[in-house]
Structure 1
Amino acid sequence: MAHRILPPGSTIGMLGDGQLGRMTALAAARLGYKTHVYAPGSQGSPGAQVAAAVTSAGWDDLDALEAFARSVDVVTLEWENVPVAVVEHLNRFTPVHPGGRVLSVAQDRVEEKSFVNALGIGTAPWRAARSADEVAAAVAEIGPRCILKSTRLGYDGKGQARIEPGSDPAEAWAAIGSDAGIVEGFVSFSCEVSVIVARGLDGSMAAYPAVENRHKDGILDKTIAPARVPAETAAEAERVARRIAEALDLVGVLAVEMFVTPDGGVLVNEMAPRPHNSGHWTMDACHSCQFEQLVRAVCGLPLGSVERVADAEMENLIGADADRWPALMAEPGARLHLYGKAESRPGRKMGHVTRLRPRS
């Protein structure tokens, strides 16, 4: 079926104004597209600093949303927790990718796990819980070592509580501050990997190689590309990501995070239908980065090459880490990316640095 191709000079609407929106806007500008950012309180934000236009209004401002939609040629997003009702409202006036169905799955961890398992793809054992008693019952069924997460929101370790042998499930329930949770059992794994796949309007797909992720205090610390796993494991991780993107009928980019089990298999941990922190290395080590792929996908363009031209290690700059910028700028081979955030806070992503090595 024929699809509409948006030519350079068109305007892409971006829901969200953080660093992902910023880097997408920069990739769009390189291809000749303009970006209009929409977000509450977005004046001076990372995305607003580089966008051609900015609308600072709430998600419940229907008039502002309509005006925004009528000013752009297509809408995409940098944050999967944009209310589905907002996406559906915008879609009355202009195409939105990814759409409401994708977001409804990605916004709820129970829906996400159910969707993945229905495809025959494995995850850690899990149970939904809506009370402390249900948490206790889930722990009794799954095992004494679990993690309790809120079903919605929560990222970089927020909205989560570990449950260890002898701990009180009621305390964990109170700690997540939510009326709906998911209890996930701990699994034995050798490392964590992720795959980012792009899917176009015509159903074509392109997947970046699996990468290895290391976390610190619940936040991504380093990404190593390519992942140091057997070729069969990397291929299976890519197959899983492609299968999920196809089943979602995704238009855009999707990141799928997975555990690698001791036997070389993979279990899906979580997914995000947007550019992802573990894909920032593609900006410096691939022919087309994840942000350019998002632009290409939503504009109906052919997807770019995902070929890796170098090995890479991406390091997040969290909080005061960004104060190292003078040394990083002087480091041969280091590619520094700062996000334009005025205030440094503990746990806040201020930028990243990618170090390249000859391709293995």
Structure 2
Amino acid sequence: MTERDGAATEQARSALKPLRACVPPGGAIGVLGGGQLGRMLSIAAARLGLKTHVFAPEENSPAFDVCAARTIAAYDEPAALERFAAAVDAVTYEFENIPAETVERLVDLGAWVAPGAKALAVAQDRLREKEFVNAIGARTAPYHAVDDLASLEVGLKKIGRPAILKTRRFGYDGKGQTVIPADNGDLRLAWEEAKRKAWEEIGARPSILEGFIDFACEISVIGARGAEGDIALYDPPENRHQGGILRTSIAPASISEETADEARRITAKMLSELDYVGVIGVEFFVLKDGAVLVNEFAPRVHNSGHWTLDACAVSQFEQHIRAVAGWPLGDPARHSDAVMENLIGAEVDSWRECARTRQLCLHIYGKDDPHPGRKMGHVTQLKPRGSPRSPQA
């Protein structure tokens, strides 16, 4: 992000108009993005008697199946944004790669947009994200800003190998990153080749080099902050990934209460410092001594919070709609233990077997083309609170 872009984002944030009033049943929430998260937000809004108007450029967006109104247009289409802003009472977004200029334009048009521009700007830039986390007193993996091969070499000497090189912007589900393997006594030529290959794989773009962490497990905290500053935090689940994609979330995580409390404390601090309204997903590494490092955060509902749809009276999706609409936040308490599994690619073809399994809650996203790596749905296995973990969990 350039200095000009950052200044524009801060200007948009300062121009953010307060929510005019609580959006009552019958009101309309605008959702930027039409994927599965937008779909589940729309379903949650309908439970509360609210409508959603989904704005997305793809004609076959899954959220279009369940929303009250739609706009099919590019995110930078001025006339479409003007009509959209006039048709809704509040605006949110379902993924963090919405152009900052889109949010700025909607704010200029008088729209209430939540989460605000500050959270979006921080989450869109991995370097800025790390700097923000450290500034509020939380820890991250060691990192180094990379702008070219020379700064990559400096970073590798500082952090060591193995390390992960990630683009600063537009990366998710393992995309936009590559591993630089351990130094095992290779010749200088091999060292130069490893650097060059990594730099080319991430597109020779501004990046961040991160050190590997020897962690015990990965967890996340799904938190929410209301328009009046009230905060609600869900129990941390343990998350397991394959190929950079979330595979399983197990709630609750098998961690100490002290570790869970520290992760919640950091999440609450982030919500307050960002002047945040809505649901946030904060990912953590848990070290072997129980300490936590912030990995990253998403300014939206999060895949690792899907279990809340079935294991809580108020899901992360309803919580987000409540916050954006200016309603009181709901109780995040868990009434059941849960294991959430993503259905990726052709795994969705097992829907019939899933549908006949007791205590298994099936969610299919209405997408076509179940290609490898694409999230097509998820299932959540419920158990009474406090049940022993199964071997696979």
Counterpart in 1 of 2:228? 202
Match status 1:249 vs 2:275: yes
- Aligned-pair CA distance for 1:144: 1.4
Contact (CA 8 Å) 1:133, 1:170: kept in 2 or not? no
- Aligned-pair CA distance for 1:169: 1.4
- Aligned-pair CA distance for 1:165: 2.2
Residue identity matched to 1:84? A
CA distance in 2, matches of 1:271, 1:289: 19
CA distance in 1, matches of 2:286, 2:63: 34
1:299-319 deviation line (CA, Å, top 9, x unaligned): 110000101000000000000
What does residue range 117-132 of structure 1 map to in structure 2 within 5 Å?
Answer: 117-132=134-149
Counterpart in 2 of 1:44? 60
Counterpart in 2 of 1:11? 28
Match status 1:344 vs 2:370: yes
1:87-143 deviation line (CA, Å, top 9, x unaligned): 011012210001111111010000000000011100000001011221121011111
1:138 corresponds to which of 146, 155, 164: 155
Match status 1:62 vs 2:88: no
Identity, % of aligned positions: 53
Counterpart in 1 of 2:298? 272
Counterpart in 1 of 2:186? none
Residue identity matched to 1:292? E
Residue identity matched to 2:315? C
- Aligned-pair CA distance for 1:188: 1.3
Residue identity matched to 1:56? I
Match status 1:259 vs 2:285: yes
- Aligned-pair CA distance for 1:286: 0.5
Contact (CA 8 Å) 1:206, 1:306: kept in 2 or not? yes
Match status 1:77 vs 2:103: no
Counterpart in 1 of 2:260? 234
- What SS class does the counterpart of residue 58 from structure 1 fall into? coil
Residue identity matched to 1:20? L
- Aligned-pair CA distance for 1:287: 1.2
2:216 corresponds to which of 175, 185, 190: 190
Moved more, 88-97 or 253-262: 88-97
- What SS class does the counterpart of residue 47 from structure 1 fall into? helix
1:248-271 deviation line (CA, Å, top 9, x unaligned): 010001100000011100000000
Match status 1:106 vs 2:123: yes
- What SS class does the counterpart of residue 311 from structure 1 fall into? strand
**CA-based RMSD:** 1.1
CA distance in 2, matches of 1:216, 1:62: 40
Unaligned runs of 5+ in 1: none
Residue identity matched to 2:166? K
Against the structure 1 CA distance between its residues 140 and 297, is the aligned structure 2 distance closer, same or farther, given a 3 Å change threshold?
same
Contact (CA 8 Å) 1:19, 1:47: kept in 2 or not? yes
CA distance in 1, matches of 2:19, 2:174: 42
- Aligned-pair CA distance for 1:228: 0.5
Against the structure 1 CA distance between its residues 56 and 264, is the aligned structure 2 distance closer, same or farther, given a 3 Å change threshold?
same
Counterpart in 2 of 1:221? 247
Residue identity matched to 1:126? Y
CA distance in 2, matches of 1:260, 1:2: 37
Counterpart in 2 of 1:313? 339
Residue identity matched to 2:367? K
Residue identity matched to 2:376? M
- What SS class does the counterpart of residue 190 from structure 1 fall into? strand
CA distance in 1, matches of 2:43, 2:113: 20
CA distance in 2, matches of 1:107, 1:2: 24
- What SS class does the counterpart of residue 345 from structure 1 fall into? coil
- What SS class does the counterpart of residue 117 from structure 1 fall into? helix
CA distance in 1, matches of 2:153, 2:63: 43
- What SS class does the counterpart of residue 363 from structure 2 fall into? strand
1:335 corresponds to which of 341, 361, 364: 361
- Aligned-pair CA distance for 1:3: 6.4
Against the structure 1 CA distance between its residues 268 and 132, is the aligned structure 2 distance closer, same or farther, given a 3 Å change threshold?
same
Unaligned runs of 5+ in 2: 1-17, 184-190, 387-393
Count of residues in correspondence between the two structures = 359
CA distance in 2, matches of 1:2, 1:60: 24
Contact (CA 8 Å) 2:34, 2:63: kept in 1 or not? yes
CA distance in 1, matches of 2:205, 2:266: 31
CA distance in 1, matches of 2:204, 2:69: 36
Against the structure 1 CA distance between its residues 94 and 196, is the aligned structure 2 distance closer, same or farther, given a 3 Å change threshold?
same
Residue identity matched to 1:264? G
Q: TM-score, normalised by structure 2?
A: 0.90
CA distance in 2, matches of 1:74, 1:192: 34
Contact (CA 8 Å) 1:333, 1:356: kept in 2 or not? yes
CA distance in 1, matches of 2:283, 2:373: 20
Contact (CA 8 Å) 2:76, 2:101: kept in 1 or not? no
